[in-house]
Structure 1
């Protein structure tokens, strides 16, 4: 536990140093932006993708489709103490064996949450990043030996380290998870790091997510995504995703997967405020 705390402290120290590269955005500009934000918006990416495994035989049973629906509802704007704002989130991710007979669903994961967000400023009143603390629940809605669920308090920080690059770090403290998932942290670890880079703004974007389990072995996950928007008049992107590692879904979190999927996505612009004044 002490070693984990040291790693988290080091990660956040590096993160706050990198936040110095953020373009100048004043408190007033950020407050004006938050005041104009829609109450209902996309939280995480909404997508439908399908693909095949790269580490096992390709068949109707191993190929699948995956889709996600995610949204966010602001309950307040920056009117709470310390200019913070309260919000609700909901994400539903499904794994669909679409190529099998009768096309059964393998797994559906439900992830509701409530959070408190706040813009972080430097001494000169310019934006350093966005921070949030959230209470989340995630489960697969099943019972008996197939039940998987966990609860967590998460702490996240997002900052722009260049005009086209956003870095996000998210750490969690789990609770009430050992009954159905006693070894879960061996695979999901204490948190995750996301790096998103725009090669061409609103046109070609790369995202990388990394998790490392609480073990000395390679248990964790790397997920890379490449987004491309083919039509300027549309908000729809094409997405190529490669997921390699564990815990893509709850039902088989200990199983290693390597799978490439392709499809379409409506990207989240939740962190657009970090690029709003580039």
Structure 2
């Protein structure tokens, strides 16, 4: 996993020379003009099967995600911060089985305090946030999974084509139902996105390392825009998930799943 991340950074050229950045005034004007309600993370519907097991109706499935956010304040609060609510719901749907049962639903609401970070020339350098997050699968008894965390994230550019996001979290009240979850999800993650062809083809990686170094995950996504125009930020997506904790219910299970489908990309890097 470490070698993969290092190779990705090397291929990006590790060029810190950036294109023209937005200024503080432009950011504030943009915040006032954008909608209060918008998409947050990727919204997608993808279907596929495993590479490490036999492919059949029990091992293949569909995965979809709905994610949005609501800005609560358009005028900056003290320290030039903004408050927003986010909600993400991820589902694992066994569409190849009789009656099409849902295997697991993961609910992920949060409240965040965000801040744009500027350099001495008042140009955008990055976006920082502190969030209070809850994630659970809404089930009871032995199938109950949930955890809470206080997280901090920072998003910026490595180059005009490459964005990076670093996130760390401090879990609390997350032992019941999944006492060893941190062994699989760790205490943070790194996201990298590299534009191979602007607004046409890009590659994204997300890496997590569990507290038990035998476990972790690497999620690779390829976005391709087959449309002549892409006003709605729509892409075809191929995702390869390798590792554990893809879903809360089966967080101990080792997965190697390849899926393909349709995505409306999230906008967390749209400021760069």
- TM-score, normalising length from structure 2? 0.91
Provide the rounded CA distance (Å) in 2 between the counterparts of 1:271 and 1:199: 16
- Residues 21 and 160, structure 1, Cα contact 8 Å, conserved in 2: no
Out of 232, 235, 238, the position equivalent to 2:236 is: 238
Instruction: Note the C-alpha offset of 1:33.
Output: 2.1
Tell me how far apart the structure 2 counterparts of residues 158 and 19 of structure 1 sit (CA, whole Å): 16
CA-to-aligned-CA distance 1:85-122 (integer Å, 9 cap, x gap): 10000000000010011110000000011101000112
SS at match of 2:271: helix
Q: How many angstroms apart in 1 are the aligned matches of 2:167 and 2:37?
A: 23
8 Å CA contact retained: 1:42, 1:270: no
Where does structure 1 lack aligned partners over 5 or more consecutive residues? 1-17
Greater helix fraction, Structure 1 or Structure 2: 1
Residues 107-145 of structure 1, C-alpha deviation per residue, up to 9 Å, x if partnerless?
000001110100011223221100000111000000000
Structure 2: give runs of 5+ residues left out of the alignment: 1-13
1:79 partner SS: coil
Aligned to 2:60: 63
Other-structure match for 2:132: 135
Aligned pairs, number: 256
2:11 aligns with none
In 2: Cα distance, 1:43 partner to 1:25 partner: 20
Cα gap change, 1:117/1:34 in structure 2, threshold over 3 Å: closer, same or farther?
same
Per-residue CA deviations over 1:1-44 (Å, capped at 9, x if unaligned) read xxxxxxxxxxxxxxxxx896444432222222222222111000
Which residue in the other structure is 1:12 paired with? none
2:152 maps to which residue? Answer: 155
For the Cα contact (< 8 Å) 1:240–1:262, is it kept in 2? yes
Match of 2:270 in 1: 272
Counterpart for residue 263 of structure 1? 261
Quick check: 1:195 aligned with 2:192?
yes
Please say which of residues 78-87 and 136-145 is displaced more in the overlay: 78-87
> CA RMSD of the aligned region, Å?
1.4
> Quick check: 1:86 aligned with 2:83?
yes
Q: Pick from 96, 100, 107 the counterpart of residue 99 of structure 1.
A: 96
Q: In the superposition, relative to structure 1, how do residues 42 and 105 fare at CA in structure 2: closer, same or farther (>3 Å)?
A: same
| Superposition TM-score, scaled by structure 1 size | 0.89
The answer as to whether partners of 1:20 and 1:128 remain within 8 angstroms in 2 is no
Preserved contact between residue 16 and residue 159 of structure 2 (Cα < 8 Å): no
Which of 93, 97, 118 is residue 115 of structure 2 equivalent to?
A: 118
Deviations 1:249-275 (A, max 9, x none): 00011110000000001111232011x
Over residues 52-85 of structure 1, what are the superposed CA-to-partner deviations in whole Å (9 max), with x where a residue is unaligned? Answer: 1000111100000000000000000242011111
Give the CA deviation at 1:184. 0.6
